[in-house]
Amino acid sequence: MTIPTVDHGDVETACPAWCTGEFHQAGGHRVDITHTSPETELTVPTATGPAVLLRLTLEQRPFTEREPGRDVFVSVELDGDHYACDPGQMDDIARGMAECATTVRSLARRLAILKETGR
């Protein structure tokens, strides 16, 4: 794929198989070239329809000099902020979500008892 940049002219780059081929900074600087996968939304059901808990996207910045570096990572969007995560950090998020699920189930049981007993 050829991407025009203001600082290095036309830049040739091979897209990973998972890349959508849509570059956020086409026509920008070479350092801004980013490979991204399709976004995965994790949702939960609510009374008014699904609500998005978080969004996940594979990402790679082949010319960056900044963190998280040039290796592929998962961009996790939580509460409007984006976090670059490696596999261990993704496991931590999954573990945290499992702990949150336990808390939600516990509160659901408590609510059921309160409704049943009227107190």
- Residue 1: other Cβ atoms inside 10 A: 13
What's this model's pTM, rounded to 2 decimal places? 0.85
**H/E segment holding residue 108:** helix 87-117
| pLDDT digits 0-9 by tens, 11-33 | 999 999 999 988 666 568 999 89
Rounded Cα distance between 83 and 59, Å, is 11
pLDDT of residue 37 exceeding 90, the answer is: yes
| pLDDT digits 0-9 by tens, 52-110 | 999 999 999 999 999 999 999 999 999 999 999 999 999 999 999 999 999 999 999 99
pLDDT at 1: 84
The pLDDT mean for the chain works out to 93
* Phi, psi (deg, nearest 5) at residue 42: -100, 120
Per DSSP, 28 falls in state S
